[in-house]
Structure 1
Amino acid sequence: MGKNNVIDTLNEFLRGQYMGIHSYERLIQRLEDEELKKEFQAIQQEHKQHAMRVAERIQNLGGRPVDSEGVMGSIQGRMSEYTMPHDPEGILEQAIIGEVHYGIEISEEIVRGDLDPESRMLIEDILDRDREHVLYLKQLLQ
């Protein structure tokens, strides 16, 4: 495992964090319930903090962090706007799906293997927090 492989892996993970930030932005724009909007904003802020931590780790490894979700992530985000729900339950379900599939499952695939111990600890901490987001969103859905 070379340093460049670690940096590339972290940058791919970071693109996913930006996708999450932008997904929450689109969901927040559709929410009318102010309390639910605040909950989504709090989760979005955590994703922003996670992105900053990963970017800092990349810099500490001598790399240059990406600053967006990339072209494919942007296209995917734009396409999802057409199928995005408008009701609070649908928006919560969409957030849960995003956290589980993109935030956790795909991220776990991305980081499988090519990470040094310090980077692995950082990513595991972020993924654990994402799992907590899922549980919390499911509680809000009840």
Structure 2
Amino acid sequence: MNSPNPSAPLHAPMDVAAIRSAARDLQSGAVPSGYQGNREEIIEMLNAALATELVCALRYKRHYYTATGLVNEPIKAEFLQHAQEEEDHAGRIAERIVQLNGEPDFNPSTIVQRSHAEYDECRDIKGMITANLIAERIAIESYRQMIERIGDTDPTTKHLLIDIMAVEEEHADDMKDLLD
């Protein structure tokens, strides 16, 4: 196996003067001049993800408060932990939307319509767990498709979504374990 020559340039030298000049355009906020993503499309996807996370947090909170019985206390604790993690995801997504010079959409009258996952009003514990597992699977596939669409055009957003998707996979695994 040949190792690369450390003295050979990988690409043309960077134009530091151009980078510095472009950085002085403060109208773009955190988005540099070399940003390659379709900001409007990515912001739209992120706002759908934000709505999904908010609906998931609300669903988990409802299940936490409405699950009854001493035997269900560990499951209730899992619901609460997941609700808090979904709220964290929502915050991280909202921050990224702002970094992209967009506006996070927290409008309560349209959150459910924009969410990929559904709200749930089950009253039995098995139904709650099943609804949460389905919602997690929806979120995972939604994130997978978003990551695929973004590709390498926006590495920051891509890595954010990969991180969130990994937690959603843990949530799905937790719900599956509770069903067994």
Mapped to 1, the partners of 2:111 and 2:94 lie a distance apart of 20
Give the structure, 1 or 2, with the largest relative contact order (CA under 8 Å, sep 6 or more). 1
Return the TM-score normalized by structure 1. 0.82
Q: How many corresponding residue pairs?
A: 136
- Residue 102 of structure 2 is aligned to residue 87 of structure 1: no
Relative to structure 1, is the Cα distance of residues 6 and 74 closer, same or farther in structure 2, using a 3 angstrom cutoff? closer
Relative to structure 1, is the Cα distance of residues 111 and 14 closer, same or farther in structure 2, using a 3 angstrom cutoff? farther
- Residue 170 of structure 2 is aligned to residue 138 of structure 1: no
Secondary structure, in 3 states, of the residue corresponding to 1:62? coil
Mapped to 2, the partners of 1:56 and 1:124 lie a distance apart of 16
- Deviation, 1:96, is 0.8
Matched-pair identity in %: 29
Query: Which residue is equivalent to 1:123?
Result: 161
Mapped to 1, the partners of 2:176 and 2:100 lie a distance apart of 37
Q: Residues 129 and 175 of structure 2 are in contact (CA less than 8 Å); yes or no, is this contact kept in structure 1?
A: yes
Relative to structure 1, is the Cα distance of residues 70 and 6 closer, same or farther in structure 2, using a 3 angstrom cutoff? farther
Query: Which residue is equivalent to 1:11?
Result: 47
Kindly report which structure 2 residues correspond to 1:1-142, keeping only aligned pairs within 5 A, or say none. Answer: 1-32=37-68, 33-68=72-107, 71=110, 73=112, 77=119, 80-81=120-121, 84=122, 86-101=123-138, 103-114=139-150, 116-142=154-180
4+ runs deviating over 6 angstroms: none
Higher helix share: 1
CA-atom RMSD in angstroms: 2.3
Mapped to 1, the partners of 2:103 and 2:134 lie a distance apart of 30
Q: Residues 15 and 69 of structure 1 are in contact (CA less than 8 Å); yes or no, is this contact kept in structure 2?
A: no
Return the TM-score normalized by structure 2. 0.66
Q: Unaligned 5+ residue runs, structure 2?
A: 1-36
Mapped to 2, the partners of 1:9 and 1:91 lie a distance apart of 27
Q: Unaligned 5+ residue runs, structure 1?
A: none
Mapped to 2, the partners of 1:21 and 1:68 lie a distance apart of 15
**Cα displacement string for residues 14-57 of structure 1 (whole angstroms, at most 9, x for unaligned residues):** 11111111221222232112222111100110000111111111
Secondary structure, in 3 states, of the residue corresponding to 2:110? helix
Larger Rg: 2
